[in-house]
Structure 1
Amino acid sequence: MTILIVEDNATNAMILKHLAKKVTDEDIVVEADATKALSLCHNTLFNMLIVDHMLPGMSGLQFIKAIRMMSRYDAIPVVMVTADQEPKLRESAQGVGVTDFLTKPVEAVAFRALLSSCLGCPSFPSALAG
């Protein structure tokens, strides 16, 4: 089981990966380039995708739309991480298949709770201790 984080900012990617490791022992792959991440998704079935909205080359919305065209990603949770709080973005994102949102800066407890929920982890309260 593997999680893919698509985030072009190295610091944000490191923070997301660190927070995810507090909830799960799954492998976590980080890719800064959305086009490369799309290729990874063709070759690997990830259990969850965490996608930044503002990416070089293609937007997070374009990436998610492409992912949802792959039938094996129909039921995979996709969380969009963005600083943009525009309601139209949320509507558009839900229209292409985003499961949930996190607003930057990411709040640690909310991120871990969302990740735990998406992955079906029963032990989230113990993850709060870390």
Structure 2
Amino acid sequence: MTILILEDNATNALILKRLAGKVTDEDILVEADGTRALSLCHNTLFSMLIVDHMLPGMTGLQFIKAIRMLHRYDEVPVIMVTADQDPKLRETATATGVTGFLTKPVDAVTFRDLLAAHVGYKPAALAAAR
């Protein structure tokens, strides 16, 4: 299976990809553009999404709302990465379907623990595809 990281900052994307690679042997795809990431999600069922909140053209919340409209993504874990500490953002994100949060700068141990909690999780749609 494959994890999608949606992050427009190349340095942050590289850090997230390297940290994820220490937790899982799943393929990891990085995309910087939300619109292209949505297209990818229409064509590929990713096992997990790691989404930056601040993206050019759309927010991470807008991306997640669009993803949750695709029923095959109902159970796919979505981790939001944000520097925003506002509790209202977290409430809104949770209501939108975010299953976990990472605060920037990302703490390596917290990231690995959060990812490890979801790695190996197989939503019904993924299990049926096998």
Tell me, yes or no, whether TM beats 0.5: yes
State how many pairs are aligned. 121
- 1:117 aligned partner: 117
* TM-superposed deviation, 1:120: 3.6
How many Å separate the matches in 1 of 2:39 and 2:120?
26
How many Å separate the matches in 2 of 1:68 and 1:119?
19
Q: Which amino acid aligns with 1:71?
A: H
- 2:2 aligned partner: 2
How many Å separate the matches in 1 of 2:19 and 2:100?
17
Which deviations, in whole Å up to 9, do the C-alpha atoms of 1:50-100 show, x marking residues without a partner? 000000011000000000000000000000000000011001101110001
Q: Report sequence identity in percent.
A: 77
- 2:41 aligned partner: 41
RMSD: 0.9
- 2:18 aligned partner: 18
Gap runs ≥5 in structure 1:
122-130
How many Å separate the matches in 2 of 1:39 and 1:119?
23
- 1:100 aligned partner: 100
- 2:73 aligned partner: 73
- 1:64 aligned partner: 64
State the TM-score, normalized to the length of structure 2. Answer: 0.91
* TM-superposed deviation, 1:11: 0.1
Task: Report SS of the residue matched to 2:93.
Answer: helix
State the TM-score, normalized to the length of structure 1. Answer: 0.91
How many Å separate the matches in 2 of 1:112 and 1:91?
23
Which deviations, in whole Å up to 9, do the C-alpha atoms of 1:12-67 show, x marking residues without a partner? 00000000000111000000000000000000000000000000011000000000
Task: Report SS of the residue matched to 1:5.
Answer: strand
* TM-superposed deviation, 1:119: 1.2
